[in-house]
Amino acid sequence: MKKLIILFIAFITLVSLNACSDDNSPVFVAKPDVDGIAFTNSFSATYLLSKSTKENVADRFIWESADFGVPTNISYELQGSIYQNFSTFKVIGSTSENNLAVTVAKLLEFAEDLKLDDDPSTTNTDGSANNSGQVYFRVKATAGTTGANETFSTIQPISIKWIETVAAGNTCPSLFAVGAALTDIGWNFKPTGEMKCNNNVLQAKVRLTAGNFRFFQESGNWSSGLKYAYYKEQGYTIDANLADALDNENFKFVGTPGIYTITIDNTKKTIVLTASSSLWAVGGAVPGGWNFDAVKTIQFVESTPDIWSASITLSNDVFRFFHAFNTWDTKNNYAYYKDAGFKINANLVSDGSGDANFKFTGTPGTYKLTINGVDKTITLE
């Protein structure tokens, strides 16, 4: 009996010691991050929206980690609202990471909430276009799983603009061609990549090589891209030298490297590549005379988009240029370039005839003759 009493006392003592040990163990309590969290990505001045680019990522929102003072699981929730005070808001998504992509489609939802549209015939009460507005974003960080400890980022406003559509047959906004397949442009937005519109037809002349590229609706805005798949889905017939890059983004040029005119006809729904053509000088003032001679007739090669040049021997007589070998026409004569606003070397004048030929009046000899369609000049060196 005495042994049982001793064992019982020992057991009570052990339990008491363990209880004391537990009472003295450290207790971690998460506290809200008093400094909050902040977005760290750079935001665009304006985000251009269109239904044709709805699958694109408008931007990836990035933020710094929240600090609750103790090691704990932190979840983030990206929220967006058309109200700065977030009286109502939408949850864009939740993540344990420090970033989340926001698509053009999601921004279009906010645009619709703001009563914006892409119809140029509808306006605000003051007559201004009702296609622009502001949306507000913030991040909520939560420590643990109970949601008891939360902190928010500062509110980030962004400007959105729904690109207005243009009726078929009218003019349309420029597009910008960018990509590795464009030898002189690359993945940069350059003026030479601008496709200007006339009667719903967009054109640009570029040097193409094997590689990928795509079109953008605004220079410098990577979220405004128009993919190969977009044009296919819209029913466009696309030139055989252009293929789907199969990266859900780009066109792939698969033709012979060279200079091409890209033509997008939004009325006919076609995308066509037209290879560069040389110019041939024919006439009494140039080698080969008034014949298309495979050896003697001087060929002006377009080595740079819209710039043709060649070394040519000139005498005091007349000549003009032809776009196709052995094909007579009255284009590319003196009057054609003059009417197009070209500044022409003083030693090249019009002969005054109905064909409006060039007449060389300078010292006979060999010259480098350059027709520059970019600067609109015809020079002799």
CATH number at residue 254: 2.60.40.3620
pLDDT for 35 equals 60
- Number of domain units in the chain: 3
Picking from 214, 236, 231, the residue whose alpha carbon sits closest to that of residue 223 is: 214
The predicted structure's pLDDT at residue 6: 41
In 3D, which of 234, 107, 206, 226 has the Cα closest to residue 162? 107
pLDDT tier at 19, thresholds 50, 70, 90: very low
Based on the fold, state whether residues 334 and 317 are members of the same structural domain: yes
Question: How far is Cα 132 from Cα 29, in angstroms, rounded to an integer?
Answer: 46
pLDDT above 90: percentage of residues in the chain: 65
Length of the chain: 381
Checking if the pLDDT of 66 tops 90, the result is no
pLDDT at 24: 46
Q: Which of 242, 275, 308 is the last residue of a domain?
A: 275
DSSP secondary structure letters along 57-95:
EEEEEEBPPP--SS---EEEEEEEESSTT-SS-EEEEEE
Same-domain pairing of 136 and 224: no
Within 10 A of 125 (CB to CB), how many other CB atoms are there?
6
- Indicate whether 293 and 270 sit together in one domain: no
| Residue 267 shares a structural domain with residue 286 | no
In this predicted structure, the answer to whether residue 28 has a pLDDT above a threshold of 80 is no
Task: Answer whether residue 39 is part of any domain.
Answer: no
Q: How confident is the model at residue 16 (pLDDT cuts 50, 70, 90)?
A: very low
Evaluate the CA torsion angle 122, 125, 127, 132 in order and state its sign.
negative
Q: Is 118 within a domain? A: yes
Name the E strands within 153-210: 156-162, 175-178, 194-198, 201-208
CATH number at residue 121: 2.60.40
Instruction: Please enumerate in sequence order all residues whose Cβ is within 8 A of that of 266, keeping only pairs 6 or more positions apart, or say none.
Output: 168, 172, 200, 201, 202
Indicate if 92 and 138 belong to the same structural domain: yes
List C-alpha distances in Å: 204 to 17, 215, 308, 332, 342. Answer: 86, 11, 17, 20, 19
pLDDT value of residue 83: 96
Q: Which of 114-118, 119-123, 184-188, 295-299 has the lowest mean pLDDT?
A: 119-123
Same domain, 264 and 287: no
Least confident of 119-123, 138-142, 206-210: 119-123
As a whole number of angstroms, the distance between CA 241 and CA 259 comes to: 13
Domain hosting residue 376, numbered range: 279-380
> Do residues 76 and 97 touch, judged by C-beta distance below 8 A?
yes
For residues 150 and 95, membership in a common domain is answered with yes
pLDDT value, residue 22: 45
pLDDT at 130 exceeding the cut of 80: yes
- For the chain, the average pLDDT equals 87
Percent of the chain with pLDDT over 70: 87
**Antiparallel, parallel or unpaired: β 90-95 and 242-244:** unpaired
What's the rounded Cα separation, in Å, for the pair 101 and 312?
59
pLDDT in tens, 135-185: 999 999 988 765 568 889 999 999 999 988 765 445 688 999 999 999 999
Regarding whether 283 and 269 lie in a shared domain, the answer is no
Report yes or no on 30 lying in a domain. no
Residue 273 Rama label (left phi>0; alpha psi -120 to 50; beta):
beta
User: Per the domain annotation, does 303 fall within a domain?
Assistant: yes
Give pLDDT tens digits for 216-233.
998 998 889 999 999 999
Specify if 208 maps to a domain. yes
CA separation, residue 128 to residues 29, 114, 115, 122 (Å): 54, 15, 14, 9
Name the H helices within the chain: 2-23, 104-113, 228-233, 334-339
Do 293 and 264 lie in one domain? The reply is no
Domain boundary among 162, 196, 218: 162
Q: By mean pLDDT, which of 3-12, 126-135, 193-202 is the weakest?
A: 3-12
240 closest CA partner among 267, 272, 265: 272
Q: Say if 12 falls within a structural domain.
A: no
Same domain? 283 vs 376: yes
Can you give the pLDDT at residue 30?
43
pLDDT by residue (tens digit) across 338-377? 998 999 999 999 999 988 999 999 999 999 999 999 899 9
The DSSP string of 259-282 is: EEEEEEETTTTEEEEEE---EEEE
Residue pointed to by tokens 């990928």: 212
- DSSP 3-state assignment of 105? helix
Q: How far apart are CA 138 and CA 152, in angstroms?
A: 7
Examine the domain organization and report whether 258 and 218 are in the same domain: yes
The Cα-based distances of 229 to 13, 188, 193, 204 in angstroms read 77, 22, 21, 21
Among candidate residues 238, 253, 275, the one where a domain is terminated:
275
> Given this model, what pLDDT does residue 331 score?
80
Q: What's the pLDDT at 251? A: 97
Asked if 143 contacts 149 with a C-beta cutoff of 8 angstroms, the reply is yes
Confidence label for 129 from pLDDT (cuts 50, 70 and 90)? confident
The dihedral built from the CA positions of residue 312, 208, 375 and 331, taken in this order, carries a sign that is positive
Residue 207 belongs to a domain? yes
Give domain status of residue 15, yes or no. no
Q: Taking 50 as the threshold, does the pLDDT of residue 21 lie above it?
A: no
Same domain, 65 and 156: yes
